[in-house]
Amino acid sequence: MLDRAQRFAGLMFDAAAETDEHAFIGDHLWTAFRRSGLAMSPFPRDLGGDDLCGPERSGELCTVLRLLGSADLSIARLFEGHVNAVSLVTRYGERDQLRALAARIAAGGLSAVWGANDARGLHVAGEGGGTLQGRKVLSSGAGFVTDPLVTATAPDGQVLCLLRLTMDEPIDLSGWQAQGMRSTATGAIDFSGTVVTSENMIGEPGDFMRQPFFSGGAWRFCAAHCGATERLVDLFKTHLLTTKRGEDPYQLQRLAQAMAAAKTARYFVEDAAQRLASDEMPGEQVVGFANLTRMVTERCALDVMETVQRGVGLSSFVRPHPIERVSRDLATYLRQPVPDLAMSDGARAFLSSSQSVGGF
Ligand SMILES: Cc1cc2nc3c(=O)[nH]c(=O)nc-3n(C[C@H](O)[C@H](O)[C@H](O)COP(=O)(O)OP(=O)(O)OC[C@H]3O[C@@H](n4cnc5c(N)ncnc54)[C@H](O)[C@@H]3O)c2cc1C
């Protein structure tokens, strides 16, 4: 899997400037994505997958997400959402639901988790099914994701509906005028009138936000951020070598600081992935550490961006320099929900535990 992911990442990186310019992921990349096995990889082996979401494979999944994040964060984001959806259906759904999803993905589909709401939100009228009313916003892959897992408010709480889109649903991408992550097609989709039955309902009300998986799974987007951060350090190194500015003591200091920040983020992310995969640690500690990992990954990425931009100078702000694009995508994708709360919850988890910091 790693070799195939690496080859696909190479293609992604080569195409990334064009993908960004047109805000569009070309058909040749989707074909290569499917051929690489990544689309089916999160499913269990007996359903045609590679079991990449299995607890013993978390280190490998982390590497794949870093590789893709290092190549093109938009495609990494879409893959992360797909992996998240398959994990949720694996964990909370019935075997038949997972089998049906695997068949749809094998036939060319893609999944995602669409949780973000506008003020109105998405509602489902009856218990165990009914008719959807409302829309989802900030939904990545709008227009090409075929089988999204959407959250909706039901009489008995928040439910998860696995939808099979007709691809005729009204999509609004007009609001996605973001600085970066342009090709993610992140938009709004109206689901009013869509009928959902028990076949669409995954798990029990409240499963989506069940811990430690809800917050603990944040390591996956952190891994993609970490990959892009590492790419910036490598591009900085290339710049210093090609311009023969690498012996300057200030530049060496910048390179050392950027390396240390990228390595720090990676160690945190790998540890957070491993903690969620093992059953050995209390859930609060897994969540607390994942929240700290979000804080550390963000800080390291911001530090590396500033350091690299100062070290390279103006050209790192001029298209089509890859540092310009990677920084723009990274700055955008770093904006994740409630970062202050994640950071303070991380501190609270430590405060209320009996552990010393060394044991936390
Ligand atoms: C490229 C991209 C793709 C995405 N794709 C998807 C997708 O496919 N599906 C999906 O569901 N979502 C998606 N999202 C949306 C994502 O899940 C979040 O909703 C979004 O990133 C939140 O960003 P925000 O900065 O607006 O967060 P906010 O949580 O609004 O944070 C902004 C700031 O406000 C602070 N803050 C937050 N709440 C409070 C409060 N109550 N009081 C005081 N301060 C507060 C935060 O700490 C932070 O400083 C995507 C986002 C991006 C960037």
CA distance 327 to 316: 9
Distance CA 38, CA 307 (A): 33
Q: Quick one: 161 and 222 in the same domain? A: no
Answer whether residue 15 is part of any domain.
yes
Same domain? For 48 and 118 the reply is no
The response to whether residue 106 sits with its C-beta less than 6 Å from ligand 1 reads: no
Give the whole-angstrom CA distance, residue 161 versus residue 27.
Answer: 28
Alpha-carbon gap, residue 102 to 168, rounded angstroms: 22
Please report the pLDDT score of residue 125 as a whole number: 82
Looking at the structure, tell me whether residues 262 and 141 fall in a common domain.
no
pLDDT-derived band at 234, boundaries 50, 70, 90: very high
Residues 329 and 272 in one domain: yes
Query: Total domain count for the chain?
Result: 3
Helix (H) / strand (E) element for 100: namely helix 95-106
Beta strands in 231-350 (DSSP E): none
Of the three residues 202, 226, 250, the one that is the final residue of a domain is 202
**Alpha-carbon span 86 to 5, nearest angstrom:** 18
Q: Are both 121 and 41 inside the same structural domain?
A: no
Q: What CATH number is given to the structural domain containing 144? A: 2.40.110.10
Domain end among 158, 175, 202: 202
Asked whether residue 127 is assigned to any structural domain, the reply reads yes
From the CA of 74, give the closest atom in ligand 1: 1
- Encoded tokens for 119: 């003020």
User: Which residues constitute the domain of residue 293?
Assistant: 213-359
Residues 236 and 348 in one domain: yes
Cβ-Cβ contacts under 8 Å for 191 (sequence gap 6 or more): 122, 132, 133, 134, 135, 136, 150, 163, 169
Q: What is the pTM of this model?
A: 0.97
State which ligand 1 atom lies nearest to the alpha carbon of 113. Answer: 9
Q: Which CATH number covers residue 336?
A: 1.20.140.10
Q: Are 85 and 111 in contact (CB under 8 A)?
A: yes
Q: How far is the CA of 136 from the centre of ligand 1 (A)?
A: 14
Let me know whether 95 and 16 are in one domain.
yes
CA-CA distance, 191 to 135, in Å (whole number)? 5
Quick one: 325 and 217 in the same domain?
A: yes
333 CB within 6 A, ligand 1: yes
Concatenated DSSP letters of 162-183: E----S-S-EE-TT---SS-GG
Q: Is the CB of 115 under 6 A from ligand 1?
A: yes
* Cβ 337 under 6 angstroms from ligand 1: yes
**Same domain membership, residue 346 and residue 233:** yes
Report pLDDT digits (tens) over 289-318: 999 999 999 999 999 999 999 999 999 999
- Are 337 and 220 members of one domain? yes
For residue range 95-125, list pLDDT tens digits in order. Answer: 999 999 999 999 999 999 999 999 999 999 8
Q: 147-154 and 157-162 as β-strands: parallel, antiparallel, unpaired?
A: antiparallel
